[in-house]
Amino acid sequence: MKKAETDKEIHRIFRSYVYYVECTFNGYALADDAYKFFMIKAMGKRKKLAFYELYGFVVMDDMVRMLLGIDESDAGAALAVLHDTLEIWQTLQMPEGKMRPMPEILSEHLLPVGSRGEAAELLCYMHLSPVNRDCCRSGYDWWWSSYSTYRGRYNWEMVNTAPILQYLSPAGGEKARAKFNELHRSAERHGNPEPDCLKAADPKKPEKPGKPEAI
């Protein structure tokens, strides 16, 4: 049993307030793989323009999910990171002065993350979402997520994997990656169930940050 993590410890480990952010579009706005790629590039460009931490993501045809950290204990500021990313996406690889149409947002879901254990569960859920939706046979096969970076397969340089991998194994390296992969395999064997923290949240209203839960 791991000891409880205090607010101070969470902020020291993550260096930020951590949020799970989900946005669903009305229609398949990102069905083109080039559009998925530009969305991921927009996440990196948003980080360079105004710093935030990105701990994980998945981009699908009609949805974007992010695990991110900001300096403020402000749910609205976390959601603004997503909105800024969408605006940057509109202009990438477009002629000067031209923009892609902004996808119509069908729903948004925002949740404060209270522990590294909770963050790890959310990452597994995110990375395996394409499997649940029959987009691929395994989370390994979906290119448009941070799973490849956690596995050491491809490095999306804007993703900070350190807090989660060090939680799984203080030594880090391949041992931590192996434990991370095992978490995914276990979740996949059980059908990638929705984490309890998401079940308890109201998807219609952003929650206010509370004290981190024990791991």
Q: How many domains does the chain have?
A: 1
Please give the residue that has the higher pLDDT: either 167 or 12: 167
The parent domain of residue 160 ranges over 16-200
pLDDT of residue 158: 94
Spatial separation of the C-alpha atoms in residues 184 and 198, rounded to whole Å: 17
Residue 207 lies in a domain: no
pLDDT of residue 211: 39
Residue 180 lies in a domain: yes
Residue 87 lies in a domain: yes
Q: Which residues are registered as beta bridge partners of 22?
A: 65, 109
> Rg of the chain over CA atoms, in angstroms?
17
Helix or strand run (H / E) with residue 19: strand 17-25
**78-102 pLDDT, tens digit each:** 999 999 999 999 999 888 878 888 9
Spatial separation of the C-alpha atoms in residues 125 and 188, rounded to whole Å: 9
Q: What is the pTM of this model?
A: 0.84
Please give the residue that has the higher pLDDT: either 114 or 5: 114
Residue 156 lies in a domain: yes
Residue 128 lies in a domain: yes
Residue 4 lies in a domain: no
Q: What is the DSSP string of 94-144?
A: S-TT--PPPPPEEEEEEEE---HHHHHHHHHHHHHHHHHTTS-SSGGG--S
- Does the structure show a pLDDT above 80 at 1? no
Residue 1 lies in a domain: no
Indicate the pLDDT class of residue 54, thresholds 50, 70 and 90.
very high
Give the CATH number of the domain where residue 143 resides: 3.30.70.1290
pLDDT of residue 23: 95
**14-51 pLDDT, tens digit each:** 667 899 999 999 989 999 999 999 999 999 999 998 88
The 3-state secondary structure of 22-90 reads EEEECCCCCCCHHHHHHHHHHHHHHHHHCCCEEEEEEEECCEEEEEEEECCCCHHHHHHHHHHHHHHHH
**133-186 pLDDT, tens digit each:** 888 877 788 989 999 999 888 889 999 999 899 888 888 788 899 999 998 889
- Does the structure show a pLDDT above 50 at 107? yes
pLDDT of residue 208: 44
Residue 9 lies in a domain: no
pLDDT of residue 31: 93
